[in-house]
Amino acid sequence: MTLSEEATERLADIVENQPTKNGELQELWGMDSGSEVHQYLESELKEYYYRNENSLICATPEATALIDGEDSERVQTMTVSPLQGTVVEVLAGPDEEPQSVVATLQAVRAAGEDPEVDDVRSALRSLADMGIVETVQKTVPTFRLAVAREDLDVEVRDE
């Protein structure tokens, strides 16, 4: 997706100010309301942002690479649940063969956790929404990291 100059500048604002709120972007962008910010995000930048566990606006790794360039030294910090953290640890890397949900479940269990398959599926989808994981469609969906592990700083929140 090609972004307009305005959308690219606003995406850069998100990358620089993340995590941020609608109100902060409203002020920065000179908009009339937080809902106007939300509408803009959904219509123009939907692929490049997500909301964290506190509903704050964060840039995806793809957005950061778009703004900083592929060789960016910026480390993307993501706060995830304990299960999501384990999934990031055991999931195939960006250049490896992607894993099915069941293979990921088995790897998580081998790492010492015992979640249900639906919990692993949900964790994978949430990580995909954050831009950390990519879905590779085969006969069944398979997953792998969308970003190199060394380019991520994953913080596991207490639950």
DSSP β-ladder status, 152-156 and 76-80: parallel
pTM exceeds cut of 0.75? no
For 68-89, how does the pLDDT look when each residue is reduced to its tens digit (9 = 90+)? 987 777 777 788 899 999 999 9
**88 and 63 in a common domain:** no
- The pLDDT assigned to 96 comes to 94
Residue 122 CA to residue 115 CA, distance in Å, equals: 11
Over residues 114-132, mean pLDDT: 93
**122 and 53 in a common domain:** no
- The tally of domains found in the chain comes to 2
**91 and 146 in a common domain:** yes
Other CB atoms closer than 10 Å to residue 73's CB: what's the count? 7
**12 and 41 in a common domain:** yes
Residue-averaged pLDDT of the chain: 91
Instruction: Give the pair of three-digit tokens for residue 36.
Output: 């106007």
Residue 40 CA to residue 149 CA, distance in Å, equals: 31
C-alpha separations of 129 from 9, 46, 135 in Å = 22, 10, 10
Sign of the alpha-carbon dihedral angle for 123, 128, 132, 134: positive
For 39-75, how does the pLDDT look when each residue is reduced to its tens digit (9 = 90+)? 999 999 999 999 988 899 999 988 998 999 877 777 7
Domain boundaries, position 46 = 5-68
Q: Is 140 helix (H, G, I), strand (E, B) or coil?
A: coil
Q: What dihedral angle (degrees, nearest 10) is formed by the CA atoms of 27, 32, 33, 35?
A: -120
pLDDT confidence bin for 1, thresholds 50/70/90: low
- The pLDDT assigned to 10 comes to 97
CATH assignment at residue 41: 1.10.10.10
**99 and 55 in a common domain:** no
**45 and 15 in a common domain:** yes
